């Protein structure tokens, strides 16, 4: 590699010519290294700094989305209700609250909590629907966020829906007195 | 003699062209990169595994945090048009200079009457200005008007429906978010985006 050398011309006339030749070239390796490093940095930061987002579609408001069980005559064996309380509390049950198939039970967020349960129930419902001859009818999840639940809880549960592949879900912030009692109950 | 010279040449590659290309690309990336401006209302968004990128233009972002609501629009022309519309609606006149400045601004959270003052500040002061948030109660629902006017502007300019994203703080309570969703749904916007961070599936 050519280097800038200043002092080691050393010898006679022949040496002088040589040192001049060497001077004409500058080592660009370090400069190229730096340039590529910066390129990489800018490339990554421009594409990574874009905010990610999550799609959410809600039903039309006028059609009263609040009573899917009654209005659209949904089979209660297919519904799962998830209530979000304060302090990351979550209660779920299958079917109707008066005659629940599973639960009501407290459950945690994350892969060992709600996700495992969602996947199990999803499978059960699919098996049930297949038994009735309608294998395309999957689970319906009703998400009920209380006034004390926060935005993170909502995003978390919507995320669980996306992860476990549940595509029929509704956000229904309405509570029967029994449900309120259930979610307000402090753990013993 | 000749042999030795050949050897010397082969040890060093000519990096000039490579250097040129590298710096050309570097310049390109620096110029296209958008500088990150401090947000007027910093929020800690919750994370999700879903990753849908938000568009760069024709997008309205409603930021919710600390009980306040801020509004941001992407796209300069839309911003100008929206400011005109809002000025006409609320009887505030904005000069051409104000509009240009507003087009380059980021999110804001003041009633329309106080907007002129915010536009007049420089960006560092804006962050410190302690903006009170956009009013959205039933008596004075300015957020609704901002949305209406900006959607109309988007249709006028680009013939496209404005996309709407909600950027909420993780600790924000649900009723506040619900209120925003209600305002959106009152305008028949049933589909919108929620801005989130990213995380893996293993949590």
Nearest in space to B62 (alpha carbons), one of B171, B150, B158? B150
In a domain, A19, yes or no: yes
Both tokens of B2, joined, read 């000749």
A47 → chain B, closest CA residue: B33
In a domain, A57, yes or no: no
**pLDDT tens string B40-74:** 777 777 877 877 777 777 888 888 888 788 888 88
A1 chain-B contacts, CB cut-off 8 A: 11-12
Q: What is the mean pLDDT of residues B182-192?
A: 81
Indicate if A45 and A77 belong to the same structural domain.
no
CATH classification at residue A135:
3.30.420
In a domain, A170, yes or no: yes
Indicate if A115 and A42 belong to the same structural domain.
no
Residues ≥6 apart with Cβ < 8 Å to A95: A76, A77, A79, A101, A102
Nearest in space to B203 (alpha carbons), one of A128, A65, A155? A155
Indicate if A39 and A82 belong to the same structural domain.
no
* ipTM of the complex, rounded to two decimals: 0.70
- Residues paired with residue A129 on neighbouring β-strands, in sequence order: none
Cβ separation of A53 and B181 shorter than 8 Å?
no
* 3-state SS assignment for residue A79: strand
Residue recorded with tokens 């003052």: B117
- Residue from the list B29, B36, B185 with its beta carbon closest to the beta carbon of A49: B36
Query: Would you state the pLDDT for residue A180?
Result: 76
Nearest in space to B85 (alpha carbons), one of B156, B140, B136? B156
- Residue from the list A39, A54, A58 with its beta carbon closest to the beta carbon of B193: A54
A60 → chain B, closest CA residue: B190
Name the helix (H) or strand (E) containing A83: strand A79-84
Indicate if A100 and A152 belong to the same structural domain.
yes
Looking at the structure of chain A, the number of domains it has is 2
Mutate which of A3, A4, A151, A159 to disrupt the B interface (most B C-beta within 10 Å)? A151
Indicate if A74 and A102 belong to the same structural domain.
yes
CB–CB of A119/A80 below 8 Å? no
**pLDDT tens string B14-39:** 888 888 998 998 898 888 776 666 67
Residues ≥6 apart with Cβ < 8 Å to A132: none
In a domain, A146, yes or no: yes
In a domain, A121, yes or no: yes
**pLDDT tens string B152-176:** 888 888 788 888 888 888 888 888 8
A38 pLDDT higher than 80: yes
Cβ separation of B48 and A29 shorter than 8 Å?
no
B55 → chain A, closest CA residue: A50
Count CB atoms within 10 A of the CB of residue B179.
Answer: 15
* 3-state SS assignment for residue A169: strand
Cβ separation of A60 and B188 shorter than 8 Å?
yes
B19 chain-A contacts, CB cut-off 8 A: 28, 31-32, 35
pTM reported for the whole predicted model: 0.71
Indicate if A48 and A89 belong to the same structural domain.
no
- Residue from the list A2, A32, A54 with its beta carbon closest to the beta carbon of B50: A54
Query: Would you state the pLDDT for residue B24?
Result: 92
B26 → chain A, closest CA residue: A39
Q: Determine if the peptide bond prior to A104 is cis (ω within 30°).
A: yes
Provide the CB-side half-sphere exposure for A170 (13 A, CA): 20
Indicate if A82 and A174 belong to the same structural domain.
yes
Contacts across the A-B interface (CB distance below 8 Å):
152
Q: Indicate left, alpha or beta for A133 from its phi (over 0: left) and psi (-120 to 50: alpha).
A: left
A16 pLDDT higher than 60: no
In a domain, A161, yes or no: yes
Indicate if A105 and A26 belong to the same structural domain.
no
How far is Cα of residue A162 from the mean position of the Cα atoms in its chain?
7
B178 chain-A contacts, CB cut-off 8 A: 145, 173
Indicate if A99 and A171 belong to the same structural domain.
yes
B29 → chain A, closest CA residue: A42
In a domain, A60, yes or no: no
Length of chain B: 203
In a domain, A136, yes or no: yes
| DSSP summary character for residue B88 | H
Domain containing A148 equals 68-184
Name the helix (H) or strand (E) containing B83: helix B76-90
CB–CB of B32/A46 below 8 Å? yes
Cα separation, A91 vs A60, whole angstroms: 27
Nearest CA distance, A71 vs chain B (angstrom)? 20
Q: Which residue has the higher pLDDT, A144 or A75?
A: A144
Cα separation, B50 vs A158, whole angstroms: 10
Question: A74-78, A110-114, B144-148: lowest mean pLDDT where?
Answer: A74-78
CB–CB of A76/A96 below 8 Å? yes
Length of chain A: 188
Indicate if A85 and A178 belong to the same structural domain.
yes
Mutate which of B16, B25, B29 to disrupt the A interface (most A C-beta within 10 Å)? B29
Indicate if A32 and A80 belong to the same structural domain.
no
Q: What is the mean pLDDT of residues A125-133?
A: 78
Name the helix (H) or strand (E) containing A119: helix A116-131
Indicate if A111 and A20 belong to the same structural domain.
no
């Amino acid at each position: 590699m050519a280097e800038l050398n200043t002092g080691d011309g050393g010898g006679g006339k022949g040496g002088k010519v040589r040192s001049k030749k060497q001077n004409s070239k500058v080592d660009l390796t370090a400069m190229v290294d730096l340039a590529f490093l910066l390129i990489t940095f800018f490339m990554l930061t421009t594409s990574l700094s874009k905010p990610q987002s999550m799609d959410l579609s809600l039903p039309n408001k006028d059609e009263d989305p609040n009573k899917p069980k009654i209005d659209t005559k949904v089979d209660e064996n297919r519904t799962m209700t998830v209530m979000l309380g304060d302090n990351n509390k979550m209660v779920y049950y299958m079917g109707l609250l008066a005659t629940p198939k599973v639960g009501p039970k407290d459950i945690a967020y994350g892969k060992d909590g709600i996700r495992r349960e969602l996947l199990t129930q999803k499978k059960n419902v699919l098996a049930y629907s297949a038994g009735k001859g309608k294998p395309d009818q999957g689970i319906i999840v009703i998400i009920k966020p209380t006034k004390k639940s926060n935005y993170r809880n909502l995003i978390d549960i919507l995320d669980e829906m996306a992860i476990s592949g549940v595509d029929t879900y509704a956000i229904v912030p309405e509570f029967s007195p029994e449900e309120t009692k259930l979610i307000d109950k402090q753990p013993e | 003699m000749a042999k030795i010279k050949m050897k010397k040449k082969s040890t060093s590659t000519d990096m000039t062209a490579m250097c040129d290309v590298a710096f050309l690309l570097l310049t390109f990336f620096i110029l296209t990169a958008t500088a990150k401006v401090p947000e007027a209302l910093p929020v800690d968004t919750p994370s999700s595994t879903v990753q849908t990128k938000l568009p760069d233009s024709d997008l309205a972002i409603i930021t919710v945090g600390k009980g306040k609501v801020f509004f941001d629009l992407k796209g300069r022309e839309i911003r100008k048009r929206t400011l005109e519309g809002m000025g006409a609606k609320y009887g505030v006149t904005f000069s051409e200079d104000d509009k240009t400045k507003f087009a380059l601004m980021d999110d804001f959270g003041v009633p329309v009457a106080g907007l002129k003052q915010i536009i007049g500040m420089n960006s560092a002061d804006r962050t410190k200005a302690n903006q009170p948030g956009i009013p959205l109660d039933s008596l004075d629902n300015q957020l609704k008007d901002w949305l209406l006017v900006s959607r109309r502007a988007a249709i006028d300019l680009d013939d496209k429906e404005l996309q709407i994203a909600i950027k909420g703080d993780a600790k924000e309570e649900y009723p506040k978010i619900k209120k925003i969703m209600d305002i959106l749904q009152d305008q028949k916007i049933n589909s919108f985006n929620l801005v989130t961070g990213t995380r893996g599936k293993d949590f």
